Amino acid sequence: MSHSIRSGRGWWSAPWEWPRSSVRAHLSGPDDALVEVRPLLDRAPRFSDLLDAGPDEAAFTALRRSELIGRPLGSPAFVENVGQLLGRTVAPAKRGRKPKARGDVDNRT
């Protein structure tokens, strides 16, 4: 997160002023031509409190890390569900070399 956002300057200080933001619709309450506000307001009836709270550094750090490594962010059950939907493993695998199978002999000298 940029310094201007953490300090309260920049886009975070007035998201309702963004030309393509849904914040104005969510603050005013009724749906408009582009935004259906009810789903968010059902989860956060006091939407303006979310804006007043400011950014959550721990959440942004976790999100940033997931974006950088290309992994989904969520609970183990969520990550497993994403993997099933995609038909591949998306959870990080164990790091390092695979262990040798029993009876395998290392022929390196």
Overall size of the chain counted in residues: 109
Is 27:48 a contact under the CB 8 Å cutoff? yes
Interval 1-55: pLDDT, tens: 444 455 555 545 576 677 778 888 888 888 888 889 999 889 888 888 887 877 7
**3-class secondary structure, 60:** helix
CA distances (Å), 104 to each of 23, 26, 56, 60, 95, in order?
62, 63, 50, 45, 21
Which residue, 51, 65, 4, 57, is CA-closest to 23? 51
Per the confidence metrics, is the pTM higher than 0.85? no
In this prediction, residue 4 carries a pLDDT of 46
